[in-house]
């Protein structure tokens, strides 16, 4: 079900539509098999996304950190993926797991999926965890001296983010001139620049959260 501003009691940013997740997605495997015993579950997003082509400039598939059916289906359907991590003791392990999953997806069903970049968020540059994660991403995601895949823009740690989440709104609605909001604007511009540099057109993006993301 696509949620838009036309729905009652819904307030979204302009030109943004959402398909929201629900807890009953935990039972999606049983539901899919009950509907069609021959269905290949990893392909369930292919036709729905194909039907949306031309209606949206970007489609973001925001996945869970674990390899559930919706996450695997997103790997199969996405053209590009973005890794996102926060400074956390488990962040590096989460990034490694994410890379392994994506490499599996490339070998088994979606050879064209590739990395667009790595976002670091919730960053307090004064902490050792933040500097360790930044150094790791710079090294691992810039093999053989090539340009780092890490986005130049990082998202700072701030209380305005949970405040906006509590209200069910975006930072652009609650704190439109805040420093962190400006960081998100800069990140969006950087994403677009890389996207058009790679593909020259709009695409489906797999947004993979590592285990360090809440």
Rounded to whole angstroms, the Cα distance separating 72 from 78 reads 10
Lowest mean pLDDT among 58-62, 112-116, 125-129, 141-145: 141-145
- pLDDT, position 213: 31
b/e map of 5-37 (b: 16 or more CB within 10 Å)? eeeeeeebeeeeeeeeeeeeeeebeeebeeeee
CA-derived radius of gyration, the chain? 18
Mean pLDDT for the stretch of residues 132-155: 82
Contact 123, 130 (CB under 8 A): yes
What are the pLDDT digits (tens) for 179-209? 999 999 999 999 999 988 876 655 566 555 4
According to the model, what pLDDT value does residue 94 have?
85
pLDDT at 28: 85
CATH code assigned at 35: 3.40.50.300
| Residue 203 falls inside a structural domain | yes
In terms of average pLDDT, the best of 66-80, 125-139, 174-188 is 174-188
**Residues spanned by the domain of 185:** 23-209
* Mean pLDDT score, 1-15: 84
The pLDDT assigned to 145 comes to: 60
Residue 55 lies in a domain: yes
Q: Is residue 8 part of a domain?
A: no
H-helix or E-strand containing 105?
Answer: helix 91-107
> Distance between CA atoms of 172 and 12, rounded to whole angstroms?
10
Q: How confident is the prediction for the chain on average, in pLDDT? A: 84
Beta carbons of 81 and 207 less than 8 angstroms apart: yes
Domains contained in the chain, number: 1
Name which residue leads in pLDDT, 203 or 123: 123
In a domain, 18, yes or no: no
pLDDT above 90 covers what percent of the chain?
A: 26
Residue whose C-alpha is closest to residue 125's, from 87, 91, 97, 168: 87
Residues whose CB falls within 8 Å of the CB of residue 160, separated by 6 or more in sequence, listed in order: 171, 174, 175, 178, 180, 181
**Is 214 within a domain?**
no
Structure tokens at 167: 């209200």
Average pLDDT value for residue range 44-58: 89
Position 3 in a domain: no
Q: Which residues of 174-188 are buried (b: 16+ CB within 10 A; e: fewer)?
A: bbeebebbebbeebe
More confident residue, 189 or 92: 189
Structure tokens at 3: 């949620």
How much is the average pLDDT of 9-32? 83
DSSP state of 55: T
In a domain, 12, yes or no: no
């Amino acid at each position: 079900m696509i949620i838009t501003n036309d729905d009652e009691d819904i307030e979204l940013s302009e030109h943004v539509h959402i398909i929201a997740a629900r807890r009953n997605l935990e039972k999606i495997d049983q539901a899919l098999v009950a509907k069609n015993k021959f269905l290949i579950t990893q392909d369930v997003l292919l036709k729905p996304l194909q039907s949306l082509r031309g209606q949206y400039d970007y489609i973001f598939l925001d996945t869970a950190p674990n390899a559930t059916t919706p996450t695997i289906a997103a790997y199969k359907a996405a053209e590009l993926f973005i890794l996102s991590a926060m400074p956390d003791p488990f962040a590096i392990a989460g990034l490694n797991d994410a890379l392994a999953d994506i490499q599996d997806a490339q070998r088994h069903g979606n050879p064209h999926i590739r990395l667009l970049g790595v976002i670091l968020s919730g960053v307090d540059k004064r902490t050792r965890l933040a500097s360790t994660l930044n150094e790791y991403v710079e090294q691992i995601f810039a093999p053989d001296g090539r340009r780092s895949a890490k986005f130049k823009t990082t998202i700072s740690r701030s209380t305005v983010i949970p405040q906006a989440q509590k209200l069910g709104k975006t930072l652009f609605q609650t704190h439109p001139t805040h420093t962190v909001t400006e960081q998100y604007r800069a990140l969006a511009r950087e994403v677009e620049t890389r996207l058009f540099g790679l593909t020259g057109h709009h695409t489906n993006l797999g947004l993979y959260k590592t285990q360090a993301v809440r």
